Structure 1
């Protein structure tokens, strides 16, 4: 009688372990897919917004450029040159690093085949305290 109960208990423990393992595996797969889809959605969203040159200038120079050229916010934008697939701008605003000195950046943007404006080159013109 005891051996039957023992066998039933062992089978039950094995089923519970298998169930826990499947739940853990399912959770990991779900979280991985959620992270991947969230990242892809975010990149698609930013790319759709960067089809506008002014948004692309603001987003790129406040988030994506090198630390010395990164701005806290874009205060002034002067369009130097623009044609169908390229643009050159002079941008000024407070720098990202402390102290937030006035920083001037000259940036060149290229339009991709999807119509998204990407930063081609950015150079620091001046940084005043």
Structure 2
């Protein structure tokens, strides 16, 4: 088992995506490998222009809660999701898109932001990543 973190990104909620990226970037910054396996609603965030579109998991309030949280994040200089993804890629992180979810939801590779995706894979791809990891999370 290596010094690696593998995270299933199942949720497309903004706060949960932040959590996944912050943990993954932290692992990379500590010298570990990290991979993010995007599936179901998490995969929707990989669509072109979709990264910032997710709602909050709680207190979304038709978008008002999200605007309030984003305002507070801006005041405290929290990086945007785009910045966190760019940092993740720059530090060597791996992003995997779930092929089964793509089929179920009618998503083609051309619909996704292909510049950040390293691989397309099914459950076996995730299992291999997890098998080689000392940390696995489901967010």
Query: Which category describes the TM-score, using the shorter chain as reference length?
Result: under 0.3
Larger radius of gyration: 1
Choose between structure 1 and 2: higher strand proportion: 1
TM-score after normalising by structure 2 = 0.22
TM-score, normalisation: structure 1 = 0.23
